[in-house]
Amino acid sequence: MWLHLAALVGLYYLLRWYRERQVVSDLRDKCVFITGCDSGFGKLLARQLDLRGLRVLAACLTDKGAEQLKAQTSDRLETVILDVTRTESIAAATQWVKERTGDRGLWGLVNNAGISVPTAPNEWLTRQDFMKVLNVNLLGVIEVTLSLLPLVRKARGRVVNVSSVLGRVSLYGGGYCVSKYGVEAFSDSLRRELSHFGVKVAIIEPGFFKTGVTNTEMIYRTFQKAWDQLGPEVKEIYGEGFLASSIKSIGLLEKQCTHHLSLVTDCMEHALTACHPRTRYAPGWDAKFLYLPMSYLPTFLVDAMIHWSSPRPAKAL
């Protein structure tokens, strides 16, 4: 019995491996628009797809980021300045993409731009703190997608949205986890709607990688700022010990981060170039063997695990 089961499992993975190796034809004729190409995953993906021969349309937030990217790529790659929090900037970038794709449409849209701060206990933050993150990570993703959707549909192309393992397990307060849960929901509904038109939607759920999003100095600075703005009553409830323990945890984050960003960009590339892309990709060993399994556990177990590993407020019961 066990031998038959092992054979069936082996056959399943062999068939999946063969199916996922099939690549879309005429990649050199296809255009891919990527947001957040100043650094990190976006910059590496732009370079990777450019080497693969695709026509990359890279959106950067700054002129400096655009110039650095162009210096490292071929003449085929083009850049545009895009602030995903501004409607007029998105409209201008959409028109720019239309002029370059023409009747072919847009084969790939990669929503990669994102920020992670301010991050702190929810009680420490304001509505504006949440909106700062949501405007980029969620509302920006939605508006960019809706603006470019007619071009993607015309090409029967792909939408690749960068979420996170923190869109499956909420580890801390602030807008980041909220935004990534939103990206998951938006992507699921979008995938079901666009399946009628031959458009495929994939979600990338990375673990912890060494990028600007996990910059410990930036996270520490915004965490300390949130503490400094608290009233005396809340400071007394949490205590200086909670602050010190939290800052120590932030310092340890860098050691947990993987430096091999290609683990993520390879998943993005597969989602764009494979005939049969996956619905979800979970790059990183921490994603595969810790956070995704946690997301399937009963809620009370996940709560207990996070409670055990988190700093304890001074006035906790």
- Span between the terminal Cα atoms of the chain, in Å: 52
Write out the E strands in the chain: 31-34, 55-60, 78-81, 108-111, 158-162, 200-204, 280-281
- Burial, 65: exposed, middle or buried (Cβ in 10 Å; 0-12, 13-18, 19+)? buried
Alpha carbon 100 to its chain centroid, in Å, reads: 26
One-letter amino acid for residue 240 of the chain:
E
- Burial, 19: exposed, middle or buried (Cβ in 10 Å; 0-12, 13-18, 19+)? exposed
CA distance 114 to 136: 6
- Maximal CA-CA distance, the chain: 66
Neighbour count for residue 15 (Cβ, 10 Å)? 10
User: 201 phi and psi, to 5 degrees?
Assistant: -120, 125
Residue 115: which of 214, 37, 238, 242 has the closest Cα? 214
- Which residue of the set 12, 13, 176, 291 is catalytic? 176
**Bridge partners for 33 per DSSP:** 57, 109
Is the preceding peptide bond at 118 cis, omega within 30 degrees of 0? Answer: yes
Q: Is 181 a catalytic residue?
A: no
Taking a C-beta distance cutoff of 8 angstroms, is the pair 218, 294 a contact?
no
CA distance 230 to 237: 11
Active site residues: 176
